[in-house]
Amino acid sequence: MRAHVPPRRTLLACLLALAAWSAVAAAAPADRPAPRHRAHVCRVLHERLVHHPPRHPQRLRTRVARCRRAAHRAHLRRAAHRRQAARLRRLARARRERARRRVAIAPSGSAHVTTTVHGTARGWNGFGPGSWPGAGWRPYADDSPFNRLVAGAPLHPASARIVQRVLSWGEPGNLIAGSADSDRDYAHPTYYSQPGDPLYTLHSTGYSPDVEGLRIPVPDAARPAGGDDAHMTIVTPDGWEYDLWQVRSKPAGGGTLTFSIGGRTRIDGDGLDSNATAARYGNLAGVIRAQELAAGQIDHALFVVVKCTSSGTSFGFGTQPGPGDQSAFVYPASHGGSRCDAAESADAPPMGARFELAMSDAQIAALAVPAWKKAILRALAHYGGYVGDTGGPGFALQFESSTMYTSFGYADPLVQIAQQNGIAPWDGLYAFNLADGVDWARYLRVVTPPAR
């Protein structure tokens, strides 16, 4: 018996449906997914093939197979389109987050350059020239002494006497901007080296076993601070912070980088046991960066400089005597500084002593002082400050050296902040007056050291 042959109009209807779908697909924009009815057309052709087989079924089978392959390719394109859209959404969110954290610093000869929490350079954490750490970033781990809140720390029994002694040496000193590239710069410039920077062999003329002979990348343009201390800090792409004191020779293009004393500490560690400050903190510990000052946000303890430090151990809490002519020191310090004379030593703090400003945020907000000063006062109230060096007035804090910007051709951001706040220059320097508007004798106090 002859098999039933469906009318020719059935096959014609299938071919017309396929042609109509092809026309719609051809008219669709190239960047849009294929119409969703392609799979339906394939099912219709398949059903026709099964229930109404044509005279030459192989041709229709071929068309069905091609249709299915086309539908599968369309499905893959739609999936790729969805993945691309999701990726673009993630990138947009990341851009918005970077923009939220962004702080502008104007370089020489251009409108502005941005600074971010996570930079786009090839140095550690993406930091490098023009991609500086932003206000929301802070060096060292959260459990570093410099990143622990001071709230709850007990008042030291000798707090009143120590504060009285420190303030008897003079009111809190001004913070100075405008000293970059001059012999008046005693601050710490920080350079975030890139993998392709020239290699330098570290050579200490003193005793620096932790870094002697190591080879590290250092930006060719990097310069030490211009003062006699000639500090220089290099953070390498692998996360080591190299702290150098009295840099004496740095030839162009690589070679031997010569300095008096140096050490290193992990930028993501505790920030201690380096060898370029009197207390042996890392050079980044406690310094106030331009980005933080501009944003009014300082989320760490501050580096405190006092005239001199105690030679005795009456401070207690694990205070150790310094060898030779060093002063005594207490954790987190591991080395002493210049001793006070006998008349002042009994009430002087040891190296490493922790100060706190006993003011609430509401009290600080109510002060008739500029925003930059309120940011510093909040940092002292929230995190305190550690004695890290000796010299100068009775009580002083420290900016990061702007030589790290000017050496690459950028303008001094601290000078820009001073000018924005109406601070007039004197002899080329800008003085951020820290003393005025605060009752330091009433609110400054000394608390016990943090736990190790």
What the block records as the tokens of 35 is 């119409």
Q: How is residue 7 written in tokens?
A: 């009318």
Quote the DSSP letter at residue 418.
H
Domain assignment present for residue 131? The answer is no
Residues 315 and 439 in one domain: yes
Q: Are residues 57 and 166 in the same domain?
A: no
Q: Answer yes or no: is 168 within a domain.
A: yes
CB proximity list for 442: less than 8 A, separation 6 or greater:
none
In Å, what is the CA distance from 10 to each residue of 7, 15, 366?
6, 9, 88
Is 182 in the same domain as 63? Answer: no
Same domain, residue pair 155 and 82: no
Instruction: Mark whether 427 and 284 lie in a shared domain.
Output: yes
Could you tell me the sign of the dihedral formed by the alpha carbons of 272, 384, 413, 177, in that order? negative
Count other C-beta atoms under 10 Å from residue 270's C-beta: 19
Q: What is the pLDDT along the chain (452 residues), one digit of tens a residue?
A: 444 445 554 555 555 555 555 554 444 444 444 444 555 666 666 666 666 666 667 777 787 788 878 877 877 888 777 777 777 766 666 555 544 444 334 444 433 333 444 566 789 999 999 999 999 999 999 999 999 999 999 999 999 999 999 999 999 999 999 999 999 999 999 999 999 999 999 999 999 999 999 999 999 999 999 999 999 999 999 999 999 999 999 999 999 999 999 999 999 999 999 999 999 999 999 999 999 999 999 999 999 999 999 999 999 999 999 988 999 999 999 999 999 999 999 999 999 999 999 999 999 999 999 999 999 999 999 999 999 999 977 899 999 999 999 999 999 999 999 999 999 999 999 999 999 999 999 999 999 999 99
Note the pTM of the prediction, 2 decimals: 0.75
Structural domain contains residue 196: yes
Does 158 share its domain with 56? no
- Indicate the DSSP class of residue 207: -
Name the domain count of the chain.
2
Q: Are residues 280 and 412 in the same domain?
A: yes
Mark whether 82 and 157 lie in a shared domain. Answer: no
- Residue 116 included in any domain: no
Q: Which of 31, 63, 98 is the last residue of a domain?
A: 98
**DSSP sequence for 184-198:** T--SB-EEE--TTSP
Residue 126 inside a domain? The answer is: no
Is 134 inside any structural domain? no
In this structure, are 296 and 366 located in the same domain?
A: yes
Integer Cα distance of 349 and 343 in angstroms: 13
CA separation for the pair 323, 342 (Å, rounded): 17
- Identity (one letter) of the amino acid at 230? A
Q: Quick one: 261 and 359 in the same domain? A: yes
Backbone angles phi, psi at 382, to 5 degrees: -85, -40
Token pair in block for residue 133: 């750490």
DSSP 105-171: EPPTTSS-EEEBSS-SSSSGGG-BTTB-B-TT--SS-TTSGGGS--TTPPBPTTHHHHHHHHHHT-S
Range of the domain at 58: 8-98
What six digits make up the tokens of 393? 């007035």
Please check whether residue 122 lies inside any domain of the structure. Answer: no
Domain boundary residue among 98, 124, 159?
98
Is residue 249 located within the same domain as residue 365?
yes
Nearest CA among 58, 55, 29, 61 for reference residue 42: 61
- CA 18 from chain centre, in angstroms, equals 61
Considering the domain architecture, whether residues 167 and 314 belong to the same structural domain is answered as yes
Residue 74 resides in a domain: yes
* β-strand pairing of 385-390 with 354-357: antiparallel
Residue type at position 352: G
